[in-house]
Amino acid sequence: MAEPTVAAPPAERARARVDLGAVEANCALLKRRLGEAALCAVVKAEGYGHGAVACAKAAQAGGAEWLAVATAREAAELREGKIGGRLLVMGALTPDEVEIALGADADVVAWSSEFLRLAAAKALAVGRTAPVHVKLDTGMGRLGTKDPAEALELLAGAAEHELLQAAGLMTHFATADDSSPAFMNEQLARFAPVAAEAKRALPGIIVHAANSAATLAEPDTHFEMARCGVAIYGLDPFQRDPRDHGLEPALSLESYVAAVKRFEPGESVGYGRTWTAAAATHVGVVPIGYGDGYRRALSNSADVLIRGRRHPLVGTVSMDNITVDLGSATDVVPGEQVTLIGGQGGQRVPAEELARTLGTINYEVTCGLTGRVPRRYDT
């Protein structure tokens, strides 16, 4: 029987498949690493591009006691998605955003007396106490007070105010994913005594510092809770192989072969003619591009998987299409699945591989997938 010339037509031009079972399993693994400390699953930026509401549910199923986001609107969207439980908004908030966050029954982060006054006013407006986590900047250099005494004063002020609740003390590590722990240890040394003093004065607060990298690298950073983001999605915080830590990547990016064309020596493909055929070959056209978040900087520099085999991307990534070299003799036909991130037939193209090519980090790769790519969830 002759080989088919066209495979079964795909349902979609492109999609990101998200394995929610992997998210749940990664959270369960992190919970085991944390022992008695709580797990806060960070689902900001649409769950690092995976989908915030779906991944929040999976994270909670895996044992996450808290969820964290960066913006008030993200908190409101989780509540609109019927997500319960403790929720922390970690970012800077305008007055209107404070009201949205408190209206979503979320905790907020403070580092100034002005913010405490604002939070109290908005707590009165929404009719609930405002739980406040004070942030101590121990070396990240972004949000937070650098003064330990001010941090303790802010916690005391929140505890004494009838419209506020002193809920937590936190910091954030700048270099937990570095090969050298020196600066993380400096930050830890600055934070630990302040945390101990705060707990003596206010035993009910929760102390938290660790991100994914610190959670995996240094148990002394765990305190009472760790805020894990990248690891819950099965991405390696150290930009190597997530399987080194038992993590399971949750996201696969897929498209399909829309056309197969024969190229003769010297024929070119794509904008700018950045690739020409050195010998007779076949080129597959795949309808995905930088409009979907598959970066233009990957032009002539990445592989995709078709029939479980690697094929190099050739030519310039355009907004809606890429082209791949299928070789002089090919069994690939239009309609076949193409995997751009993930595994197929024993081969893998992990997000970490694309990140190294781009000179960036794996979660910029997943966060960059646009809304034009539907997320499809496997449980």
Task: Give pLDDT tens digits for 143-172.
Answer: 999 999 999 999 999 999 999 999 999 999
Q: Looking at the structure, do residues 274 and 211 belong to the same domain, yes or no?
A: no
Type of residue at 223:
F
Q: Which positions are annotated as active-site residues?
A: 44, 271
Query: 171, 205, 239: which is the final residue of a domain?
Result: 239
Q: How far apart are CA 45 and CA 48, in angstroms?
A: 5
The answer to whether the CB of 333 falls within 8 A of the CB of 260 is: yes
Q: Looking at the structure, do residues 211 and 323 belong to the same domain, yes or no?
A: no
Q: Looking at the structure, do residues 221 and 257 belong to the same domain, yes or no?
A: no
Task: Give the pTM.
Answer: 0.95
Q: How far apart are CA 369 and CA 359, in angstroms?
A: 17
- Structural domain range at position 351: 251-360
Q: Express each pLDDT in 86-107 by its tens digit.
A: 999 999 999 999 999 999 999 9
Q: Which residues contact 301 (CB under 8 A, 6 or more apart)?
A: 313, 357
Q: Express each pLDDT in 304-344 by its tens digit.
A: 999 999 999 999 999 999 999 999 999 999 999 999 999 99
pLDDT band at 8 (very low <50, low <70, confident <90, very high): confident
Question: How much is the pLDDT for 3?
Answer: 47
Q: Looking at the structure, do residues 197 and 289 belong to the same domain, yes or no?
A: no
Q: Is residue 86 part of a domain?
A: yes
Q: Looking at the structure, do residues 50 and 181 belong to the same domain, yes or no?
A: yes
Residue 9 has pLDDT above 80, yes or no: no
In percent, how much of the chain has pLDDT > 90?
A: 97
Average pLDDT, the chain: 97
Q: Looking at the structure, do residues 300 and 159 belong to the same domain, yes or no?
A: no
* Exposed/middle/buried for residue 131 (C-beta within 10 Å: 0-12, 13-18, 19+): buried
Q: Is residue 80 part of a domain?
A: yes
Q: Where are the beta strands (DSSP E) in the chain?
A: 15-19, 38-42, 66-69, 86-89, 107-110, 130-135, 164-170, 206-210, 225-228, 251-256, 259-263, 268-269, 275-276, 281-286, 303-306, 309-312, 322-327, 337-344, 347-349, 375-378
Question: How much is the pLDDT for 77?
Answer: 98
Per DSSP, the three-state class of 23 is helix
Residue 259 has pLDDT above 80, yes or no: yes
Given phi > 0 = left and psi -120 to 50 = alpha, else beta, which region is 285?
Answer: beta
Q: Looking at the structure, do residues 327 and 230 belong to the same domain, yes or no?
A: no
The answer to whether the CB of 254 falls within 8 A of the CB of 287 is: no
Q: How far apart are CA 85 and CA 157, in angstroms?
A: 26
Q: How far apart are CA 344 and CA 219, in angstroms?
A: 35
Q: Does the CA dihedral 277-281-285-286 come out positive or negative? A: negative
Q: Looking at the structure, do residues 83 and 172 belong to the same domain, yes or no?
A: yes
Q: Looking at the structure, do residues 277 and 204 belong to the same domain, yes or no?
A: no
What are the backbone angles phi and psi of residue 249, rounded to the nearest 5°?
A: -60, 135
> Within 10 A of 200 (CB to CB), how many other CB atoms are there?
8
Mean pLDDT of 101-127: 98
Residue 4 has pLDDT above 90, yes or no: no
319 closest CA partner among 277, 290, 286, 284? 290
Domain count, the chain: 2
Q: Is residue 132 part of a domain?
A: yes
Residue 69 has pLDDT above 50, yes or no: yes
Query: 184, 215, 239: which is the final residue of a domain?
Result: 239
The answer to whether the CB of 284 falls within 8 A of the CB of 56 is: no
Q: Looking at the structure, do residues 177 and 99 belong to the same domain, yes or no?
A: yes
